[in-house]
Structure 1
Amino acid sequence: MNSTSGVRAAIPPANRPTIRQLEYLVALGAHGHIGRAAAACYVSQPTLSTQIRQLERHLGVAVTERVGRGIVMTAAGRELANRARSILHSTDELMEWGRSTVTDLIGPLRFAAIPTVAPYLLARVLPAVRDRHPEVQTLLDEIQTTELTAALMSASIDLGLLALPVPDDALEHRIVLEDPFLLAMATDHRLAQKTTVTMDDLAGETMLLLDDGHGLRGQALEVCRAAGARSDGDTGGTSLATICQMVAASMGVTLLPSSAAPIEAREGAGIAVRPFSDVNPCRRLVLIWRRNSSAAPLYRELAELMAERLAEPAS
């Protein structure tokens, strides 16, 4: 390649010095004597001398020169020994980093959650990630279930947080939260006078649903069919926050995950929530990853930490 291009031609791997040769060079620079350097490296003097000569051929510069009956390092050799020491130090750091990934997550961690989870639980689970793996850099995304699982399969993300079921056997998961559904209604709704509700109470009610693509929509439809509630196919929302605004405006009722209630049914929001007394509608939230991921053991441990954190009362 033209030297004026500013890009150096790659050196063929066969012409590169080995780590062992650099170690011999550093030892020679430290001891200044072939015999003592060889002893420090636990090799014979001829072995070290042969490797130094090969190194000189790779570098195209003399590392040593004969003075009288002895051998001393050249000025270039001393500088090369200093540079080799820095390379060996970087190699050690590389080895330490590689070993540390067996017990710790390091660097970017691409994490995604479904929209009915991300605003309500990420603030609770992410501290568990940082506490256990302080060197990790979490990159967050909020995407629907189908897109999330596709991103996992293509390795666009590393971890996901979504609701069961998991659609692919190539993905491994651990349950981190049992998330019961509450019935959400306007504070002046007739059912708001009750402390609990039943499936029979839903008969004739209009159930507000999320738009297609949200897993929560399918779960709400199942409850609708079982209870005889109506669902308005033309009226939906892109988010739980939107649905809850519609509930507060007395446009219908909805199923609200307990994890979302502290935010969406907070005091002054115009929404009342009631548990079911005769059934236990619930979604199971899972941490999910590729089954063949090299970090799978760490992800399993992380799922346990998240489950512990989510079992604590929300602050």
Structure 2
Amino acid sequence: MNPPSATRPNTNAVGRPTMRQLEYLVALNTHGHIGRAAAACYVSQPTLSTQIRQLERHLGVSITERVGRGIVVTPVGRELADRARAVLRDTDELLEWGRTSTDELIGPLRIAAIPTAAPYLLARILPVVRERHPDVQIHLDEMKTLVLVDVLTTAQLDLGLMALPIPSEDIEHLVVLEDPFLLAMEPGHRLARRPAVTSGDLAEETVLLLENGHCLRGQALEICRDAGAREVGKGGTSLTTICQMVAAGMGVTLLPRSAAPIEARRGAGIVVRPFSDVVPSRQLALAWRGRSPAAPLYRDLAVLIAERLADLNTTSPPAAARQEPGDVPDAE
């Protein structure tokens, strides 16, 4: 046996980096902070720090540099993180190919949805997944759009439920729901006496919006600007919070119809009305990596999900959300 080259590391002696170490490196580069990276990987800070130091010994380079009281990823570390991301993606696709070599998905299936869809649609979607692919173990998460796109593109996720447009050319999708917006208000609001509202009605209203980072905020802002809304409130962390603010008389909001059965249920303190002129809406899509070996199965699954959600493709609000006890009856 020839001795190891003097100019190349002896990988048999020092060992190869583990997949977990590569995941920690990618997380550290993504978050730029040991604590946030450890939280994202569901490990303690000492565990992540120890593994990063071991990775530095494996590779013979400095991945991090201490600056003041914190650390930053070095230029070499950033380059390594990009390469590690590609290795993890290819490895996941290798595993994915192995478990999708038949016409059924098997093993772990990682699904995430945006926060304005997850609480309202996952309960309807997951039974479809289980019926079509009974041997999968579903892992769920909730992520804002940009994070979801990143982890989906890098094969840390298999499927994502999000609103269009999707800011990535590497992701394929199929629209599973046309989700119109309803105007939500307190029962005593002047517009609650009407069976429907117009976009022009927004010009006299304070419209409450989600905080930055939610794609629904951008969609609602565009609608409000077109309608000439007088003032736009902001800062709600969830649709539930926004709806509680509406119930308290702080303003009105644009509520996706898919959320109305929960957020505008009887006793919630708000009512919703459809738009009678131009109906604002969003498109929700199931998305996956275009190069995934399971892409044909994911597309088939998206078709089935769209069929299951077909009853939501209507501009009328759900009956339970149209009227509060003591509210003025809707006109026929």
Shorter chain as denominator, the TM-score bin is 0.5 to 0.7
Say whether the 8 Å CA contact 1:209–1:231 is kept in structure 2: no
Q: State how far apart, in whole Å, the 2-side matches of 1:222 and 1:299 are.
A: 32
Match of residue 240 from structure 1? 239
Say whether the 8 Å CA contact 1:177–1:310 is kept in structure 2: yes
Change (3 A) 1:231 1:219: farther
Change (3 A) 1:270 1:106: same
Match of residue 250 from structure 2? 251
Say whether the 8 Å CA contact 2:99–2:106 is kept in structure 1: no
Report how many aligned residue pairs link the two structures. Answer: 219
Report the secondary structure of 1:138's partner residue: strand
User: Which digits, 9 at most, give the CA deviation of each residue in 1:252-307, with x for residues without a partner?
Assistant: 00000000000000001110100000111000000000000000000000000100
User: Which digits, 9 at most, give the CA deviation of each residue in 1:61-108, with x for residues without a partner?
Assistant: xxxxxxxxxxxxxxxxxxxxxxxxxxxxxxxxxxxx958643001000
The amino acid across from 1:109 in the alignment is: L
Give runs of aligned pairs for residues 131-170 of structure 1, distance below 5 A: 131-170=131-170
Where in structure 1 do 4 or more consecutive aligned residues deviate above 6 Å? none
The amino acid across from 1:196 in the alignment is: A
Report the secondary structure of 1:122's partner residue: helix
Q: State how far apart, in whole Å, the 2-side matches of 1:232 and 1:247 are.
A: 13
Q: State how far apart, in whole Å, the 1-side matches of 2:153 and 2:274 are.
A: 37
Q: Does 1:128 align with 2:128?
A: yes
Q: State how far apart, in whole Å, the 2-side matches of 1:99 and 1:208 are.
A: 45
The amino acid across from 2:214 in the alignment is: H
Greater CA radius of gyration, 1 or 2?
1
Say whether the 8 Å CA contact 1:180–1:280 is kept in structure 2: yes
Query: Residue 204 of structure 1: CA displacement?
Result: 2.2
Q: State how far apart, in whole Å, the 2-side matches of 1:219 and 1:202 are.
A: 15
Query: Residue 182 of structure 1: CA displacement?
Result: 0.3
Query: Residue 170 of structure 1: CA displacement?
Result: 0.8
Report the secondary structure of 1:176's partner residue: strand
Say whether the 8 Å CA contact 2:113–2:161 is kept in structure 1: yes
Give runs of aligned pairs for residues 197-276 of structure 1, distance below 5 A: 197-233=197-233, 235-276=234-275
Query: Residue 246 of structure 1: CA displacement?
Result: 0.3
Show structure 2 runs of 5+ residues with no match: 1-11, 13-96, 313-317, 321-332
Q: Tell me the C-alpha RMSD between the 2 structures.
A: 1.9
Give runs of aligned pairs for residues 1-315 of structure 1, distance below 5 A: 98=98, 101-233=101-233, 235-312=234-311
Query: Residue 223 of structure 1: CA displacement?
Result: 1.1
Match of residue 51 from structure 1? none
Change (3 A) 1:245 1:296: same
User: Which digits, 9 at most, give the CA deviation of each residue in 1:202-231, with x for residues without a partner?
Assistant: 112000000000000011101111111134
Q: State how far apart, in whole Å, the 2-side matches of 1:112 and 1:231 are.
A: 33
